[in-house]
Structure 1
């Protein structure tokens, strides 16, 4: 996997302003996602450790990457996506801060994780 890159961070309200142009990618590890029981509404959930394989599917799209704590996993995946030519940024908050701000979340079932 790629090293952690310096990256642009989006504030939670920014993706809400342009959801059609920005794809939200939840790279929370599956056990943590199941434990949380929720994700940001409309986000996609590829496995974080397969980013080099699935990155090409997001070429030409602006994406914002997040995880449950907004630290190492999302930063590394964001770096991998950038290495693969994807316009990737990280959210400036973690999932819990998004939820606490009253922004849209949806339930996730164990089978969807």
Structure 2
């Protein structure tokens, strides 16, 4: 977003606010917020009751498949040569952060009871 803004400042052209917002805000973020709002308002429960089908479960399963696809795309796009070129520090940081999240998640489930 900043790069686009800087480019427009250098070129001297005026860009309308709506156009800048469209460039700056990813579309998936708006979709995520819309789905969260609909879920909070109970829309999916209402639809599930109206059509006698668990729409929430179907959306959850589709989301799981999309998440697995996104993680696979990230993994398949990772080149070992680029990891070697970056050095050991980013790998150590990534593994450390992942391990910390795993341990904290386990502790929360074990002692606080946040099982989903």
TM-score (normalised: structure 1): 0.17
Which structure's CA Rg is the greater one?
2
The structure in which a higher percent of residues are helix is 2
| TM-score, normalised with respect to structure 2 | 0.17
Structure whose residues are more often strand by fraction: 1
